[in-house]
Structure 1
Amino acid sequence: MQIEIVTIFPRMLDSILGESILKRAQEAGLVQIRCVNLRDFASGAHLTTDDRPYGGGPGMVMKPEPVFKAVDALRRPESKVILMTPQGEPFKQATALALSKESHLILLCGHYEGVDERIREALADLEISIGDYVLTNGVISAAIVVDAVVRLLPGALGGEGAAEDESFTTGRLEYPQYTRPPVFRGMAIPEILTSGNHAEIAKWRLAQSIARTKARRPDL
């Protein structure tokens, strides 16, 4: 898989892409991730990527010319262009799973008051929102999408099936997890987990998952 993130702040992702699972996935050749500086496609002495909105109003709007030039340079027949926007569809685990099966993702990161509507109309194959709130720019939301997608690539987590029982993958929240020591400050782990009876442990985990989902996320 190849992922290209188009932004005017490419260095914001240096530490995120260079650590943990994202770093190992790139080193293993599972994914190539590249941050593309939108200013490389801007013109003028100041490489301007934004301008005042028609009709007035606060803030600045991302200009169409640099974004169109960037997508023209990056897009291939198999590419999927994703616009990060608070107006997009809510990002869910099912979306991450679907995107993990793509071969080339181009993530467009909006900034300021958003992007010129013609970018949305003519370029975006998919619009994604990570929640009902507004961030300073789309790079942060793009990082979340990239992380969620890459960890689903076969081999990214170091073992087959490692992501199968996680929250939202099954439509439920994950069951409680415990590790050593068995008793900590008077709090003991459930005895079933040390029984060695894997069938009963599986039943306990399923029951806990269902109960936790009903209590915390009944909307699921």
Structure 2
Amino acid sequence: MKINVLTLFPDMFTPLKVSMLGRGLEDGKWDLNLVNFRDFTSDVHHHVDDTPYGGGAGMVLQIMPIKKALDSLSDKGKVIITAPQGKTFNEEMAQNWSKEENLTFICGHYEGFDQRVYDLADETVSIGDYVLTGGELPTMSMIDATVRLLPGILGNEASPVEESFSHGLLEYPQYTRPADFEGQKVPEVLTSGNHQKIAQWRHYQALKTTYINRPDLLENRELSTEEKKMLADVKAELDQ
């Protein structure tokens, strides 16, 4: 996969070049192409923004340098704009994007884009109901969530399948050594060696964690008979 990023601040993307994603870059499992669209301006001072027609506070990013930067790409693939008015990013989007050969992100700044920039994109996406100073941090989050799903990035191919949101639920609690830390003991079921009981315990805990922290995720979920019983037990446990 190749990911292009149109940004005024390419130096902000250093975090993507370290840790597991960084090793993936070095191994050629994905490619990151940072494009400063200020380089595609035509005036002496390299302006990328201007005052909005009709008046108002702040400056608006112009379409011309962004369109030229996009046109310079031979492999832009799906084009994504990060903006507060977009649909909220989620795990399903990350999974769908991870199947693409090419992605291109356009990072906003200042008071946003000239409206005609949105016509250049296939999707406008937000990471939440709040405003940041620019689109670089949301773009990095989306790239991380997408690239980590590529084969070989995490090392353990089962890891992304078992994590939060992969099955519509938050992740169950995890434990490692020591089994007893200052009186806080690992649940006995996890050391029992009974894989069926471990799987049931994990499913129950995932439902419990989701019900407590993100009950909205359960609203449209079609619960199996077993999950309905588990959820009833969760509610009874919490009511005690």
Aligned to 2:105, the other structure's residue is in SS state strand
Share of identical aligned residues, percent? 51
Instruction: Please name the residue that 2:9 is paired with.
Output: 9
Residue 214 (structure 1) aligns with = 211
Partner of 2:183: 186
Q: Distance in 2 between matches of 1:44 and 1:183?
A: 67
Shift of residue 75, structure 1, vs aligned partner = 4.7
Question: What SS does the aligned partner of 1:74 have?
Answer: coil
The residue type equivalent to 1:120 in the other structure is Y
Q: Name the structure 2 match of 1:114.
A: 112
- Which residue number in structure 2 is paired with residue 132 of structure 1? 129
Tell me, which stretches of 5 or more residues in structure 1 are unaligned? none
Change (3 A) 1:115 1:75: farther
Residue number in structure 1 paired with 2:78: 80
Distance 1:26 1:57 in 2: 42
Count of matched residue pairs: 217
Q: Is the 8 A contact 2:17 2:25 kept in 1?
A: no
Calculate the TM-score normalised by the size of structure 1.
Answer: 0.96
The offset of 1:186, in angstroms, is 1.8
Amino acid in structure 1 at the alignment position of 2:162 = D
Q: Which has the larger radius of gyration?
A: 2
Match of 1:26 in 2: 25
CA distance in 2, matches of 1:22, 1:34: 14
Counterpart position of 1:47: 46
Residue 150 (structure 2) aligns with: 153
Q: Take 2:45 and 2:178, find their aligned partners in 1: how far apart are those partners?
A: 59
Whole-angstrom distance in 2 between the partners of 1:176 and 1:137? 34
Distance in 2, matches of 1:50 and 1:102, equals 31
Q: Secondary structure at the match of 2:162?
A: coil
Q: Which residue does 2:165 correspond to in 1?
A: 168
Q: Which has the higher contact order (CA 8 A, sep 6+)?
A: 1
Question: Any stretches of 5+ residues in structure 2 without a counterpart?
Answer: 218-240
Rounded Cα–Cα distance in structure 1 between residues aligned with 2:168 and 2:50: 43
Q: CA deviation at 1:185?
A: 2.2
Q: Give distance in 2, aligned partners of 1:53 and 1:184.
A: 60
**Deviations 1:21-40 (CA, angstroms, capped at 9, x unpaired):** 11011112110012111111
Aligned to 1:66: 65
